[in-house]
Amino acid sequence: MTTQAPTNGSGRSPTVPALQTFVKETGGWVASQLEACTRCGICAEACHFYQATGNPEYAPVWKIELLRRAYEQRFTIGGRLRLAAGLAKPISDADLAHWSTLVYEACTMCNKCAIACPMGIQIGPLIHEVRSAMSEAGVVPPELMAAVNKQMAEGSPLGMTDSVWDSRLEWVADEWEEEIPRDVQGADTLVVFSSIEVMKFPGNVAAIAKIMNAAGEKWTVSSEAREIVNFGFYEGNEHRTVEILKRVFDGAVALGVKRIVVTECGHAYDALRWTAANLMDVPVGIEVTHIAGVLGDFVRQGRIKLKAGAFDNDGVITFHDACKIQRRGGHINEPREILKILAPNAFKEMSPNREQAICCCGGGVIAIKEADPQRYAVFQMKVDQARKVGAQTVTMTCSNCRLQFTDGVAHFGLDLKVTGLAQMVADALVE
């Protein structure tokens, strides 16, 4: 683990902008939660990073330590007195560098800690506030910053440029013989994929296209709003988050669609569905939803028919809850309803599951090489849970998790099949 982080290159100490951000973000929402913390340490045991490594610095409450210090030293009498008397340490450049590695390399924003905390403190979102300060101060891991810059310049952190997008989509449509409507004015639904799907899981793109077509949905993709991933949000930079969100909303407005369907990216769904309206003026009358919810609706409304028991004969299948789509997105029931049709006997739940599931450790840290040791350590816990129910296949609704699973399975040489729910649904469609 490195504690070295770049400074913002302005010659000014990074603590100044960091503190300004802390102060700006400290509304009652943040303050009342910081005040409620009894420093009991229970959240530590909820965090997969702590569970896997036993490193006390990975306790969620410790990751927001700088936010607490900044808040107390600025807004509370006791904190100010202690600072003046030299009893409290002001935040230093070295602190920022150190906490930068903690909040970027040892947190996936899964918010499991929030449900374990006896006070119910939303530590995940508070860590996002710490990231905002890091971003303002320019103390972001270089690898992440490079990906952010790439997305700002090229539209995608994975290098999905105009020509790559064109050729990739054409190839998918050809290879799977599926129609993918592009830039259709007046379509009802704009589907925005993540570049992970387009570049690494093209089968998922084809599967979603097949399902949309089968359901008779008037849908389209947009060459303007073609990347759902939001690395500005991941970084915690409000300005860049909004700029990337705007690309998606502008594309949707230009086509006149009624809803945006976010596909398989957790951070993107969090940004677009649960954060955008508080950061910017979002276009009215455009609903934002997730493909997991759409699949559920299609099945409930009978718009697609699935072959019952289609996956009942390939050994035990288990479902991995993606933090940002299930616990923090709310689409907990739909995948289960579908799996009960597809594999009524073979589907087994891991424990814990649903909103209490543990993160697979893909979410974000997979983009930072330095985080590899803890990422693999956590993944092993997840695999153990799958093993416990005898799973031969694990399915999910997030391509970022899927990237983590495919990478982890290869890294450990495991005999575990990794697939996506959309792909299973597409394979089980009855015309």
Partner 1 sequence: MNWTSFLEFTRGPLFYAALLIFIAGMVYRLVRVIALGWARDRVKSRGSKLGGAVRSLLKGFLIWPFIPWVKNTFSRSPLIYVAGGLFHLGLFVVIFLGAAHMLVWKSLLGFGWPTLPLPIVDWLAVVAIAAMIVLFINRLVHPVLKLISGPAEWLNLVFVFLPMISGYILTHHLFFRYETAYSLHMLAVDWLLIWIPLSRISHFMFYFFAKAIHGAQFGKRAVAP
Q: Kindly tell me which of 61 and 91 has the beta carbon lying closer to ligand HEM.
A: 61
Q: Which of 16, 83, 116, 254 binds partner 1 (CB under 8 A)?
A: 116
Shortest Å distance, C-beta 117 to ligand HEM: 8
Cα dihedral sign, 404-409-412-416: positive
| Cβ atoms of 66 and 99 closer than 8 Å | yes
Helix (H, G, I), strand (E, B) or coil at 75: helix
38 part of the interface to partner 1, by CB under 8 A: yes
- What is the chain's length? 431
65 part of the interface to partner 1, by CB under 8 A: yes
Picked from partner 1, ligand SF4, ligand HEM, none, the partner binding residue 158 (CB below 5 to 8 A depending on kind) is none
CA 229 to chain centre: 9
Instruction: List % helix, strand, coil for the chain (3-state, nearest 5).
Output: 55, 10, 35
Shortest Å distance, C-beta 168 to partner 1: 32
Shortest Å distance, C-beta 60 to ligand HEM: 14
Picked from ligand HEM, ligand SF4, partner 1, none, the partner binding residue 428 (CB below 5 to 8 A depending on kind) is none
| Cβ atoms of 228 and 272 closer than 8 Å | yes
Shortest Å distance, C-beta 161 to ligand HEM: 52
Binding positions for ligand SF4, rule: CB under 6 A: 37-43, 46-47, 49, 60-61, 63, 107-113, 117, 119, 121, 123-124, 127, 359
Q: CA geometry: angle at 348 spanning 385 and 396, to 5°? A: 75
Pattern 300-319, partner 1, x by CB under 8 A: --------------------
Helix (H, G, I), strand (E, B) or coil at 192: strand
Environment class of residue 8 by beta-carbon count within 10 Å: exposed (0-12), middle (13-18) or buried (19+)? Answer: middle
Shortest Å distance, C-beta 56 to ligand HEM: 16
28 part of the interface to partner 1, by CB under 8 A: yes
Shortest Å distance, C-beta 331 to ligand SF4: 19
Secondary structure (H, E, C), 240-297:
HHHHHHHHHHHHHHHHCCCEEEECCCHHHHHHHHHHHHHHCCCCCCCEEEEHHHHHHH
Q: Which helix (H) or strand (E) holds 316?
A: strand 316-319
Q: Kindly tell me which of 120 and 373 has the beta carbon lying closer to ligand HEM.
A: 120
* Strand 305-306, strand 429-430: pairing: antiparallel
d(CA 165, CA 263): 16
Q: Kindly tell me which of 339 and 360 has the beta carbon lying closer to ligand SF4.
A: 360
118 part of the interface to ligand HEM, by CB under 6 A: yes
Sequence-separated (6 or more) residues with CB below 8 Å from residue 337:
296, 299, 300
Shortest Å distance, C-beta 24 to ligand SF4: 22
d(CA 143, CA 129): 20
DSSP of 216-238: T--EEB-SSS-----HHHHHT-H
Shortest Å distance, C-beta 254 to ligand SF4: 36
The size of the interface with ligand HEM (CB under 6 A), counted in residues, is: 4
| Cβ atoms of 197 and 264 closer than 8 Å | yes
In whole angstroms, how far apart are CA 286 and each of 247, 260, 283? 14, 7, 6
115 part of the interface to ligand HEM, by CB under 6 A: no
327 part of the interface to partner 1, by CB under 8 A: yes
Q: Kindly tell me which of 275 and 423 has the beta carbon lying closer to ligand SF4.
A: 275
Q: Kindly tell me which of 61 and 134 has the beta carbon lying closer to ligand SF4.
A: 61
68: left (phi over 0), alpha (psi -120 to 50) or beta: alpha
Q: What is the CA radius of gyration of the chain?
A: 22
Pattern 353-372, partner 1, x by CB under 8 A: --xx----------------
Picked from partner 1, ligand HEM, ligand SF4, none, the partner binding residue 273 (CB below 5 to 8 A depending on kind) is partner 1
Q: Kindly tell me which of 23 and 119 has the beta carbon lying closer to ligand HEM.
A: 119
Shortest Å distance, C-beta 373 to ligand SF4: 15
Q: Which of 3, 4, 10, 38 binds ligand HEM (CB under 6 A)?
A: 38
Binding footprint of ligand HEM on the chain (CB under 6 A): 38, 40, 118-119
Residues that bind partner 1 (CB under 8 A): 26-29, 31-33, 35-42, 44-46, 50-51, 54, 56-57, 59, 61-62, 65, 75-76, 78, 87, 114-116, 118-122, 125, 273-278, 326-330, 332, 351-352, 355-356
